[in-house]
Amino acid sequence: MIRIRQIKLKVESTNKDLISKIAKILRVNKESIKKIKIIKRSLDARKKENIIYVYEVDVSVNNEEKILKRIKSNDVFKTPKEVYTFPSSGTNSLKTRPIIVGSGPAGLFCAYLLAEHGYKPLIIERGERIEERVKTIEKFWKSGTLNKNSNVQFGEGGAGTFSDGKLNTLTKDKFFRGKRVFEIFVEAGAPEEILYVNNPHIGTDLLRKVIINIRNKIISWGGEFKFNTCLTNIEIENNKLQKIQINNEEMIPCEILILAIGHSARDTFEMLYNKNLSMKAKPFAVGVRIEHPQEMINISQYGKKYKNLEPASYKLTYTTKKGRGVYSFCMCPGGYIVNASSEEGHLAINGMSNYKRDSKNANSALVVTVTPKDFGTHPLSGIEYQRQLEKLAYQKGNGNIPIQLYKDFKDNILTTTLEQVLPLTKGNYKFSNLNEILPDYITESLKEAIPVFGKKISGYDRGDAILLGVESRTSSPLKIERDDLGISNIRGIYPCGEGAGYAGGITTAAIDGIKTAEKIAKKYRF
């Protein structure tokens, strides 16, 4: 096949227009084009009066070698081989099957690759399977009744299941692990467009079905899932893992333990720290969520001419005069704010969108970087820092999501009345003063950054924009150390994914899960 880059078409263009453009570039008849596969499609909205799609495609056409000799362009070349390859099995034997803790993206994709290649992993998950988890979370949003082991943070699919389902990553993919992640998602029922669109997402509604299909595939290859099953202890001998304990009761022999526990497994982190697993505090970010009308974001990003494009997103960054980084994170076009708490008496929030992204509001985390200088260098000090903020948020909101208009946040006064922007939340909300929840260096950084963002996106700093708190679970506050073979200081333990400090989203966590599966496969045979 022939690859063609930089094919520019109007957003109203059809598939026929794409074929005509390809034929013109290759100087062939349209009839000689046998197949087209879109590799990438991005939206170029820099010129509001002329927004275009930019395509990269693979084309199957008659006389490809002759065409390639005739066309002299850096954007036309023979399609490269881009195939993910799992390594050959090692020589060491395993007496017990690998055990994976956590069924978020890292755990699921590690399990998928191991199961696909005969290792029959056991996956233990403290939360419920998707079918029950959805009901439990919806009950929590309506009544406030929290299940500490099955909630927005814990359960099959991980925290990303109740998010926008964004698949963005800045990771270079020279081994095509990311490509394989997307292929597995599509094979499990995700929209095929995620293979080529510039900002792919699945949406929480579709992602739930996809995860069930991935689970069933793993089971068909001999993998096993144990839900409502929490890792409560580990048994070590001569610095080597021997057994694990689940639910404070059953002991299971274990040689290989993949820790894909997610960034909110605070009790598990504490248990592992007390077992002398090597870990250290790391920087992360905290702040608020901000809501605007999605139509306002669309007009700012696209102009008024284009009304049929996908809901617009944005990415904003700023460095304060004191050197703090402020940035938007996990932006959810047409989304909702969700109560994402996982501990009694504490409140944390997240953003969520369905596949169609069709709510009236856009929301995004607006967060400020914090480091061990702010909260301490003890490995667990970042967790305590998060807890303090979440406890204040719970108290000030009386168990509900604290919200405040931007103009009132700026003036340090309590909001009493909403204006044009109405909050879209999963879980109840309450007027609160966010200045009384967040440290001064966070609130001051936000107040400095938001007017700057208003110059980049018209209306971003409007007075009735809604701020909600707190956004405290942007990433893991610690890193579990591992060597080049993926192993921790305790032999047999493989820290993996976002909770261990090696990823920052669904795709990067899934990729790290695949890397971990590879390292195990290179050493052991099934």
Omega into 186 within 30° of 0, i.e. cis? no
What is the total count of domains within the chain?
A: 3
Which residue among 428, 453, 471 closes a domain?
471
Q: What is the dihedral of CA 166, 167, 168, 169, to 10 degrees?
A: 140
Nearest to 449 by CA among 366, 345, 339, 365: 366
**DSSP code, position 478:** E
> For 2-23, what is the mean pLDDT?
95
- Residue 515 CB burial class (10 angstroms; 0-12, 13-18, ≥19): buried
77, 80, 309 from 21: Cα distances, Å: 16, 22, 21
- First-to-last alpha carbon distance for the chain, in angstroms, is 37
Residues in the chain: 526
Confidence of residue 308 (pLDDT cuts 50, 70, 90): confident
Same domain membership, residue 373 and residue 306: yes
Q: Are residues 345 and 213 in the same domain?
A: no
Query: Does residue 83 form part of some domain?
Result: no
pLDDT confidence tier of residue 164, bands split at 50, 70 and 90 = confident
In a domain, 503, yes or no: yes
Residue 440 CB contacts under 8 Å (≥ 6 apart), including other chains? none
Proportion of the chain above pLDDT 70, given as a percent:
100
Q: What is the pLDDT of residues 206-248, one digit of tens each?
A: 999 999 999 999 999 999 999 999 999 999 999 999 999 999 9
pLDDT at residue 144 tops 90? yes
Residues 6+ apart with CB under 8 A from 165: 201, 202, 203, 204, 206, 207, 353, 355, 506
Which contiguous run of DSSP H or E holds residue 465? none
The answer as to whether 263 is a domain residue is yes
Looking at the structure, tell me whether residues 272 and 288 fall in a common domain: no
Residue 86 domain-assigned? no
Say what the pTM is: 0.95
In this structure, the answer to whether residues 273 and 376 fall within a common structural domain is no
Contact 136, 156 (CB under 8 A): no
Residue 256 scores a pLDDT above 80: yes
Whether the CA torsion 278, 283, 288, 293 is positive or negative: it is negative
The pLDDT, as a whole number, for residue 165 is 79
Q: Which two tokens stand for residue 148?
A: 């500490």
**Do 325 and 467 fall into the same domain?**
yes
Res. 307: pLDDT tops 90: no
Give per-residue pLDDT as tens, 385-436.
999 999 999 999 999 999 999 999 999 999 999 999 999 999 999 999 999 9
Residue 169 has pLDDT above 80, yes or no: no
How much is the pLDDT for 415? 98
**CB-side exposure of 200: number of CA atoms within 13 Å?**
27
**What local confidence, expressed as pLDDT, does residue 358 receive?**
95
pLDDT tens-place string over residues 455-506: 999 999 999 999 999 999 999 999 999 999 999 999 999 999 999 999 999 9
Asked whether residue 85 is domain-assigned, the answer is no
* CB of 446 closer than 8 Å to CB of 322: no
238 and 289: one domain?
Answer: no
Rounded to an integer, what distance in angstroms lies between the CA atom of residue 176 and that of residue 154?
Answer: 29
Q: Among 441, 471, 501, where does a domain finish?
A: 471
309 and 274, same domain (yes or no): no
Percent share of the chain, pLDDT over 90: 94
Residues 346 and 428 occupy one common structural domain: yes
Same domain, 34 and 122: no
Both 169 and 203 in one domain: the answer is yes
What the block records as the tokens of 6 is 């930089």
φ/ψ of 506, rounded to 5, equals: -60, -50
Strand residues in 45-134 grouped as ranges (E): 52-61, 76-78, 92-93, 99-101, 122-124
Contact 169, 198 (CB under 8 A): no
Which distant-in-sequence residues (6+ apart) come within 8 Å of 469 by Cβ? 287, 288, 289, 349, 393, 401, 402, 403, 432, 434, 437, 438
Residue 65 has phi, psi (to 5 degrees) of: -65, -45
Q: Which residues contact 269 (CB under 8 A, 6 or more apart)?
A: 261, 279, 379, 380, 383, 478
**What pairs with residue 253 in β-bridges?**
243
Q: Yes or no: say if 13 and 168 are a contact pair by the CB < 8 Å rule.
A: no
Determine, yes or no, domain membership for 104: yes
* CATH code: domain of residue 44: 3.30.70.2700
pLDDT of residue 194: 95
* Predicted pLDDT at 306: 79
Which helix (H) or strand (E) segment holds residue 139: the answer is helix 130-143
Q: CA distances (Å), 388 to each of 152, 282, 346, 392, 437, in order?
A: 20, 17, 8, 6, 9
Tell me the mean pLDDT in the region 131-138: 97
- How many Å apart are CA 340 and CA 337, to the nearest integer? 9
Q: Which domain holds residue 54?
A: 2-78
pLDDT digits (tens, 9 = 90+) for 83-117: 999 999 999 999 999 999 999 999 999 999 999 99
Structure tokens at 331: 């932006």
Q: SS3 for 12? A: coil
Encoded tokens for 264: 């909110």
For residues 313 and 460, membership in a common domain is answered with yes
Q: Tell me the per-residue pLDDT of 331-382, one tens digit each, with 9 for 90 and over.
A: 999 999 999 999 999 999 999 999 999 999 999 999 999 999 999 999 999 9
- Between CA 109 and CA 106 the distance in angstroms is 6
Q: Tokens 């992602």 map to which residue?
A: 207
Cα–Cα distance between 488 and 495 in angstroms, integer? Answer: 7
Task: Out of 78, 104, 136, pick the residue that ends a domain.
Answer: 78
Residue 346 lies in a domain: yes
Domain identity same for 185 and 38: no
